[in-house]
Structures are given as structure tokens and as C-alpha cells.
Amino acid sequence: MYASRFTEAHQIYRKAVRDWCERVIVPNAEAFERDELTPREVFKQAGQLGFLGARFPEACGGSGGDFWYTVCWAEELARTGLAGTTMGLLVQSDMATPVIGEIGTQAQIDEFLKPALAGDRIASLGVTEPGAGSDVASIRTTARRDGDDYIIDGAKTYITNGTQADFITLAVRTDPNAVPSWAGISLVLFPTNTPGFSVGRKLKKLGNHSSDTAELHFDGCRIPRRYLLGEENHGFVYIMRNFQGERLVGALTAAAGARRVWERSLDYGREREAFGKPIIKFQVWKHHFVDMLTELDAGQALAYRSADLFDAYLRDPDNAPDPTREISQAKLYCAEMAQRVIDRCLQFHGGMGYMEEYFIARAWRDTRLISIGGGTSEIMREIISKLIGL
């Protein structure tokens, strides 16, 4: 059903992304993992080739495509097996920037969004804090008015692209006395060359090593009020809406990445012999691979249904149904499904699967983040339960 959504133009775009990934990302995987960083030049190339802005309007510096271009982009990045680089690039194209295109002023679009989509400025999304993860309403980083400026104090943590970002789409508290607390949150655009800003430390992660993740500190940072995104104290609503795209690309990359591991594991099983025959010929493993394929197809169907609904919502938000439930279901299922599939594939590789130099070990480590980042599986279940009236 959803295969029909991919036009010839989508397929040409997908092939261009795949060719670029195989030429630029895959051969440099070990270097990116070792340096714990995807170089700035990769962002620049992705921008120059039009990958970062494929679904943004031309007025924003994009190509005017639909969300199915993001589906192609996310799936091809996931196929590289380099989850950190995938995350860093998707933060740039689908997490830190869409809200600027939706509610930003023309001046903000010109100063921040267009250079980000061109790959000239690296973006981060600054929401999570040391004491506030999934509970966004509890953030403590403050933005206090001072004439025509805001003065920002606080800290953020687990920020992807944090060590090299040129600007941050930053969640701040502008009304410390708001009741309920979420009603006092705003979004601002924060240039990282602002005096008083510092990167606390580059964090060491279990997986996703090819992306830089940082603690950020704000000490009396003064920015102009014209960097406020949308309306003051409406930031929580913007963040929750922006989360839908983030969670959907998480589901898409989980499903596509797990499928690529399944394919590579199947190839391994055809070549590796035990007791005189390829190990994939043993009935127990044939059945496991059938079960995994069924889960992969189910996850992709959930993700594609969500992409269809989200695309309609982006085109006509006033008349299209809210896709939050379906996206939450896709994020929940694909994240946990990918972990099950990749864990089983690691088991299939035996001792080789436990070796760091083999792709399956990295995939196993990297996939563990998907049920945490962008809203934990527990939060997804809570959202879904409320939306179905439980």
C-alpha cells in the first residue's frame, strides 16, 4: 500500500542518498567512531546535495518535497550501520530545524534555518537537562527578560551535535511561576558564540560513538528577544508537536537499521557452515529468520502508516487527523522490535557476534538508545494509554 507513495523522484533521491552514504560515510565509519564525531564537512556535503532540506519549502531554503523524502533519507542513513552519524544528521534535518520553518520569522529563517539546511551552520536541539529528561515541563534553564534581551542561565545534557553546534533550538523557562509549570516554557534560537556559553564536557556513550554528545552550560548569556521562536510561554506546545517528527524518524531508522542487520546476517548464515551445511539451513534458524522478518514488516508498516498520516498533517494541519497516537505506537514497537531482532542476529553470529570489529556488535550497542531517546518506551505507553481513554 505505502510503496505507492514513493514516486520516481523519491527513488532518484533515495539512490543519490545511498550512493553518497556508500562513498562518504561507510568508508569512514571507523574514523568517525574513533573520533566520536561526524566531521563538519559531512554536514556541508549533505546540505550542498540538498539532502538536509528536501522536505522544507523552497522559501526556507529547501526543495519543497513531502515527508516521504525524509523517509528515504532516514532509511538510507540507517543502512550505513553508523547510528551516531545518522542521529547527528537527522538532528540537523528533522529535530532542531523543522520548528523554525513552522513558526519562525523570516529573519530567523534567513539567519538560522537556511544556513542549517545548506550545511553551513550545525544545529542542536537543547531540551534535556540534568534533572529533566522525559519530564519536559520540569526544565529549569531560565530566560529572564532584560529590556530587549533575554538573559539565559542553566544547563543542558545529552545534547547531540553539542560540541560543534553553531546554534541551539533551546527550551527555556520564561515564567518560573506558571501554573501548570509547562505553561512557562518558551523556545529560543541560541547562537553558541554568545558570551557565557560553554561546553561542559563531551560525554562518553555506550553506543552511537560517531556523534558528539555534550553537556552545555549557560552563565548569564544575553541574546536579543528577536530570537524568541513563536509566542512566549507557548514553547511546551511547540516542543510536543516537534517531538512527533523526531519520534517518527526514530521509528523509521530503527526499522530500516534492523532490516539491514537481518539482511547481512542472512548473508553470513549462507556462507558460514557447521556440521557440514550452512547454518541458515538449520530449522531453528530458518524459523527465527521468518519470525524476525515478520516483525520487521510489521514495524515498517506501522512506521509507514505514521509517515502517511504525518505527511497529511504537515500539509493541512487544520483538517488532517492528529497522528500522535500512531507515531507513538510506531516509535514504541519499532524501538523494541529492533532490539529483539538485532539481539537474535548477534546470537546467530555466535562468538563472532561478540567481537568489537564485527558490525553486529556495534549495531547491538547502538540500537539500545532507540527506546530511550526522544521519549522512552514507558512514556510512549503513557501517551498511547491517555489517547485511547485509559
Active site amino acids: 246
C-alpha cell at 231: 509566542
- 143 in Cβ contact with 172 (< 8 Å): yes
SS3 358: coil
C-alpha cell at 340: 529483539
Strand partners, 154: 218
- 174 in Cβ contact with 232 (< 8 Å): yes
CA distance 76 to 57: 22
Nearest to 205 by CA among 362, 342, 374: 362
CA distance 78 to 140: 34
CA distance 137 to 131: 11
Helices (H), the chain: 8-20, 29-35, 40-48, 67-79, 83-90, 98-103, 106-108, 114-117, 235-271, 283-315, 324-349, 359-367, 377-387
